[in-house]
Structure 1
């Protein structure tokens, strides 16, 4: 082995005071117990200037069952490490370099908000929060813009188009006719559908832009809102189709599950039909949930891989396969955290809006007509804007980081990300710390 400073392999350094054979020197003959007249002459390869005989002592004779004493430890393998950058003290185990004073794989590269290795649950959540904290100008700017535009559209729609004063009166009137109740329910469903559609469009825009920001944050690279929009705009139509397709699939599954019970109830067997409807709703809901989680990573796959809707669904199913419960748990935890954050902000604003608009808590609970006043809509809308501004980055960031984590686990994406970040000298991904 080639000898280099700071690295000494076993056997390459002398352990008994002799020169190593690799340098061409012959080992000295063993001293004899006879008189000095028969002392051997030094080999011709040695220098004529040799140490005096008094400094060399003959080895003690060994008994028939006595083992020879062990040789003293060589440098670098026995006692304390030699100081300086050339020895072990400044090499592998020292405080100044190597692997931090212990044997094991080197730490994973972390150019951005997450280490480039399989992630734990806490690291995924922390990565989403770190993205919002590190790139807060871009993240909160996108979230605030989308939330304001969405909420303004909802307020104008509710106040100017979908004023449900008459609808509320009809629904609360016990003497209302069937036609009045049907009309009121139709208006309510139309109002809820319109609000849901506007909110969905805003959520799609926020998800598309924040997906780009989070993917760049993994590499430690910032992105402006204009750059994020330029990158996400070609995929917005496909993302809209994907976002509409998933709930339609869930509704179709539930409809198929309840259809046998509805047919039996329509045939006259009401009790059996109702039981079968309840059982069908329960079973279909489980299947729909399984489908939704299976395709929950289709959105980042569509945005980051520039895939079609069908291909992104296939990619999500491949990434989630074998990890359904893990993906479900992380998504559920993220949604729960977002719900708690939104409730902490939205509920106080809703009560404040009721107080300022002159409505009591009972009126708000019963959906009184005065709840659609400008004061109520504006004050409660401010709370909705603040809540959406904080929850959009959490839900979108967790989904993107979960997608990246699954690709690291299955496709060694961390190697590509390491090269993309311009980091050299890092090997394959290390195991996750937890989760």
Structure 2
């Protein structure tokens, strides 16, 4: 991927000699290039998207097509990551369930207020600790998956086959920088949300292309922030709209998949109104299974959409479609 023309940023492109005002050689002489024929240029589509600025529907369709063309890589990797993170998260939280259920069933006639507060504090602290560890595991898994999918989509755009080992070898050097960039951008967005929700959303969209820039351009963390800002500037609303559409699609799919597991979990508890019923081991196991299945579908889709937004922005703002056409073997176009 790093050797593929077109992925490097404009600042990384080698300088080409410029010869202004030099007339082209006469027809039939070496170096002569005939002018392009009249009419619109033919659409070049070596991979999952046409190599030209994309419509919104083409971005969504390209993400779905990538999942269908590389199911073992995308869906398989997502299934493994979702299973590992969700199961480990469940195992981390299970030891604290007894404290929470004990708090909910305390009898005020048999315990003092101080004992109840101690039990409540212990239960909440333990559960929050388990939740924090679960979120950290999910973050690491999601960062790995998004970077891995970025490499696969980069190949899919050019219609090139890629194996797991090849994608991993290309992504491996970028894993720690991507994790650091994700944590830093998450901190910036969180601060923006705390100050006011709107600045948090604005910053989140502005830096939404950090991952693809860092992985595909193989640049540093600071440069990735600058690249994302430069690409989104002037197209913030379009980028926001596409990300929102992808989030809605993912949310609907996740809800549809998770609903049967939630109903089965409620059925195991007899549809009890007791709030502690949702904390039973059976309910949590079923909800975890539902989350694994849903994440297996939604995480690759969202990541692929994000990468294709990056590709579209580069084709629109930097003319990268020409470089990609050459890389795909259409240098004469």
TM-score, with structure 1 as normaliser: 0.63
Establish whether residue 425 from structure 1 lines up as the match of residue 332 from structure 2: yes
With 145-154 and 229-238 compared, the bigger mean Cα shift is at: 145-154
Separation in structure 1 between the aligned mates of residue 248 and residue 272 of structure 2, nearest angstrom: 26
Counterpart of 1:170 in structure 2 is: 103
> Do the aligned residues in 1 keep the contact of 2:85 with 2:134 (CA within 8 Å)?
no
Q: Please list the CA deviations of residues 57-78 of structure 1 after superposition, one character each: whole Å capped at 9, or x if unmatched.
A: xxxxxxxxxxxxxxxxxxxxxx
Establish whether residue 140 from structure 1 lines up as the match of residue 75 from structure 2: yes
Question: Map of 1:91-110 to 2, 5 A cutoff?
Answer: 104-110=39-45
Pairing partner for 1:318 from 208, 230, 234:
230
Establish whether residue 410 from structure 1 lines up as the match of residue 300 from structure 2: no
Q: 1:423 to 1:351 in 2, by over 3 A?
A: same
Instruction: Using the TM superposition, give the Cα deviation of residue 398 of structure 1 relative to its aligned residue in structure 2, in angstroms.
Output: 0.4
Which runs of structure 1 show a deviation greater than 3 angstroms over 4 or more consecutive aligned residues? 171-185, 375-378
Instruction: Using the TM superposition, give the Cα deviation of residue 174 of structure 1 relative to its aligned residue in structure 2, in angstroms.
Output: 9.6
Instruction: Using the TM superposition, give the Cα deviation of residue 194 of structure 1 relative to its aligned residue in structure 2, in angstroms.
Output: 1.4
Counterpart of 1:383 in structure 2 is: 290
* Structure with more helix by fraction: 2
Instruction: Using the TM superposition, give the Cα deviation of residue 305 of structure 1 relative to its aligned residue in structure 2, in angstroms.
Output: 0.8
Separation in structure 1 between the aligned mates of residue 320 and residue 103 of structure 2, nearest angstrom: 58
Instruction: Using the TM superposition, give the Cα deviation of residue 239 of structure 1 relative to its aligned residue in structure 2, in angstroms.
Output: 1.1
Instruction: Using the TM superposition, give the Cα deviation of residue 141 of structure 1 relative to its aligned residue in structure 2, in angstroms.
Output: 1.4
The secondary structure found in structure 2 opposite 1:368 is helix
> Do the aligned residues in 1 keep the contact of 2:89 with 2:131 (CA within 8 Å)?
no
Instruction: Using the TM superposition, give the Cα deviation of residue 372 of structure 1 relative to its aligned residue in structure 2, in angstroms.
Output: 3.5
Instruction: Using the TM superposition, give the Cα deviation of residue 230 of structure 1 relative to its aligned residue in structure 2, in angstroms.
Output: 1.2
Instruction: Kindly tell me the number of residue pairs found equivalent between the two proteins.
Output: 295
Higher relative contact order (CA 8 A, sep 6+): 2
User: Structure 2 unaligned runs (5+)?
Assistant: 1-25, 28-35
> Do the aligned residues in 2 keep the contact of 1:116 with 1:418 (CA within 8 Å)?
yes
Pairing partner for 2:249 from 317, 324, 337:
337
Separation in structure 1 between the aligned mates of residue 105 and residue 238 of structure 2, nearest angstrom: 45
> Do the aligned residues in 2 keep the contact of 1:294 with 1:317 (CA within 8 Å)?
yes
Question: Map of 1:10-409 to 2, 5 A cutoff?
Answer: 104-159=39-94, 161=95, 163-170=96-103, 177=114, 178-255=117-194, 257=195, 284-356=196-268, 358-363=269-274, 366-368=275-277, 371-373=279-281, 375-409=282-316
The secondary structure found in structure 1 opposite 2:51 is coil
User: Structure 1 unaligned runs (5+)?
Assistant: 4-97, 258-283, 427-435
Separation in structure 1 between the aligned mates of residue 90 and residue 54 of structure 2, nearest angstrom: 41
Instruction: Using the TM superposition, give the Cα deviation of residue 173 of structure 1 relative to its aligned residue in structure 2, in angstroms.
Output: 5.8
Q: Please list the CA deviations of residues 289-311 of structure 1 after superposition, one character each: whole Å capped at 9, or x if unmatched.
A: 11111100001101111111111
> Do the aligned residues in 2 keep the contact of 1:351 with 1:361 (CA within 8 Å)?
no
Separation in structure 2 between the aligned mates of residue 254 and residue 135 of structure 1, nearest angstrom: 36
Separation in structure 2 between the aligned mates of residue 297 and residue 171 of structure 1, nearest angstrom: 44
> Do the aligned residues in 2 keep the contact of 1:171 with 1:184 (CA within 8 Å)?
no
Instruction: Using the TM superposition, give the Cα deviation of residue 106 of structure 1 relative to its aligned residue in structure 2, in angstroms.
Output: 2.0
Structure number with larger C-alpha Rg: 1
The secondary structure found in structure 2 opposite 1:165 is helix
TM-score, with structure 2 as normaliser: 0.82
